[in-house]
A = this chain, B = another copy of it.
């Protein structure tokens, strides 16, 4: 009751609130009903702003894209720092929102804003002297690295540990122990920067691109 400030709904407000709930409780826990409750409205009202739940998730993805900061090409903007800046920003967004990797990995960009942002960041690669397909391959390689690195940080290679109940001889191998320890105590962002260096050097040497 009373003056619950509810500054009129729109697609963006749904998206932001949904993302907030996803960050807090996980992607699987998001429901139209809970989102409605959070917005002080019945679930069915949401269908005025969003076609269905799938469309809602697309809007959340747009929200994530909008958080990525890319430097548009222009005079005084060197291509390599611009690329690094955009990739770092993407990495930060992916880590800030644990469900983001899942969303990026399963849904293509659909809105003008999101596709526009992809294009702007692609242009940094073209500015490096690469043309056409080469620029696209380089772009794709770089995005793949960031997405995949973030995925290993959150999934596959995260918190590996042997279950005490196994204890077959091969599982007490000291080399295995070392492998597991490394996966546990990774220096996080340092590893990301190392990989970023590898990406940039691979691009430079493969495509004969100027040093900066």
Binding site for B on A (CB under 8 A): 101-102, 104-110, 112, 115-116, 118-119, 122-123, 126, 132-133, 136-137, 140-141, 143-149, 151-152, 154-160, 162-163, 166, 168, 170-171, 175-176, 178-180, 182-183, 186, 191, 194-195, 197-199, 201-203, 205-206
Contacts and interface: CB of A to CB of B under 8 A. Distances in A.
Contacts of A106: 101-102, 154-155
Given A112-B166, A118-B160, A202-B202, 18 more contacts: A105-B105, A105-B151, A106-B154, A108-B155, A108-B160, A109-B157, A109-B160, A116-B170, A118-B156, A119-B176, A137-B191, A141-B145, A141-B149, A143-B157, A144-B152, A146-B148, A147-B151, A199-B202
Contacts of A162: 112, 115
Number of copies of this chain in the oligomer?
Answer: 2
